[in-house]
Amino acid sequence: MRTEVDINAEMLTWAIARAGYDLHDFVIKVPSIFEWIQGKKKPTVKQLEDFSKKVYLPFGYFFLPEPPKEKLPIPFFRTNNTQATQVSVNVYDTILLLQQRQDWLKDYLKESEFETLSFVGKYRNSNNVQEIVADLRRSLNLSENWASHYKTWQDALESLIHNIEDIGVITVFNGIVENNTHRPISVEECRGFVLVDEMAPFMFINNSDGKAAQMFTIVHELAHIWTGHSAGFDFRKLEPANDPIEILCDKIAAEFLVPEVTFNEVWNSNPNIKNAARFFKVSEIVIARRALDLDKITKSGFFEFYDEYTNREFIKNESQSSGGDFYATTRKRLGLTFSVHINNAVKSGKLLYRDAYKLTSLKGDTFQTYFTKHI
């Protein structure tokens, strides 16, 4: 028996637009939609379920009398403008997913009598770059020239991530929505975002971005945690939006990675990007950005170098690309600290498997294998 359902046509057109599709193109691919919108036919429950998956919405949404008013839960800054009021559905759903994980984690930590993190919002009312950078280093147990102890900047980056997770900041690296390879998150739209919370701050870094740029994004997001402001950003060509907090966090990231005094000494003795990158154990792109800040190169010179470098890295990454390790990727997508808390909560009976599956986007044997063999 075919069970047909009544649906408000406005809900259908809203859902298609929300998912980023052009209505005309969508109707060509799925002609029955046009008849539903016109009211000539009604979808069956199965057809509506299939449609809901295509537009990334829960099935129940289509029984609402009108489209819900979805508000971006955090400020989202654009380099060339000020603040965005909308983002793509893939970015929006990823923000909501991490908020759900954050809500669970902070309740779990409170129930388990964890203390709040003293560094969150510690410099909410300060714009003293040097003082904030010094406190960042103290909290992460890093010296001013900590990166110089590593062989490569990639090694320094991995160590930095480890130290960040150790102090209770969840770092999430992903370039798609959950594990869905059909839902990519564009680097041009979102380089990252940060959800500030005194118990469970979360940082999201777009893993589709080059690792060279990720280092700067990570420290920029740390600065947001220290200054107490959640935000997302596209951070095009590593330039901040024209916003006081964004500019401050940008300065903090630059000074943390490449201290001005030392940089001037190194640059004055040998004004060369590669040489400075080797000295500071950061990527060439970070050095170029710092050289721009300190008027060592022009803006046009920086943009030219940025384009050349990113093209070079893209070609290199493409030639070295491989399928990768699913479980290693999962550890990056969830964050090691978050994974440990989920595992402990399940083992102690404080979290049902059903809920753990939802929080991790894993289930069954995949869930068991990850938590028994890979954390």
pLDDT confidence band for 316 (50 / 70 / 90): low
- pLDDT, residue 237, reads 85
Q: Please check the confidence at residue 180 and state whether its pLDDT lies above 60.
A: yes
- pLDDT, residue 323, reads 56
- pLDDT tens, residue by residue, 17-74: 999 899 999 988 888 999 999 989 999 999 999 999 999 999 999 999 999 888 899 9
Using DSSP, state whether 212 is helix, strand or coil.
helix
Dmax over CA atoms of the chain, in Å, equals 81
How far apart are alpha carbons 192 and 92 in whole angstroms?
12
- pLDDT, residue 192, reads 97
Token match 């300060």: residue?
A: 126
How far apart are alpha carbons 334 and 339 in whole angstroms?
6
- pLDDT, residue 4, reads 84
Contact 212, 286 (CB under 8 A): yes
- pLDDT, residue 213, reads 84
Q: What is the mean pLDDT of residues 177-198?
A: 95
Q: Please check the confidence at residue 324 and state whether its pLDDT lies above 80.
A: no
- pLDDT, residue 127, reads 95
Using DSSP, state whether 113 is helix, strand or coil.
coil
Amino acid identity at 27 = V
Q: Tell me which of 32 and 221 has the higher pLDDT.
A: 221
The structure's pTM equals 0.90
- pLDDT, residue 69, reads 87
Considering the chain, what percentage of its residues have pLDDT values greater than 70?
97
Q: Please check the confidence at residue 319 and state whether its pLDDT lies above 60.
A: no
- pLDDT, residue 315, reads 62
Amino acid identity at 197 = D
Nearest to 244 by CA among 72, 83, 74: 83
Q: Tell me which of 6 and 371 has the higher pLDDT.
A: 371
Q: Please check the confidence at residue 217 and state whether its pLDDT lies above 60.
A: yes
Output the 3-class SS for 70-91. Answer: CCCCCCEECCCCCEECCCCHHH
Q: Please check the confidence at residue 119 and state whether its pLDDT lies above 70.
A: yes
Q: What is the mean pLDDT of residues 89-112?
A: 97
Mean pLDDT over each residue of the chain, to the nearest integer: 92
Q: Please check the confidence at residue 1 and state whether its pLDDT lies above 60.
A: no
- pLDDT tens, residue by residue, 72-87: 999 999 987 777 878 9
- pLDDT, residue 81, reads 73
- pLDDT tens, residue by residue, 256-315: 999 999 999 999 999 999 999 999 988 899 999 999 999 999 999 999 999 998 888 766
- pLDDT tens, residue by residue, 134-149: 999 999 999 988 888 8
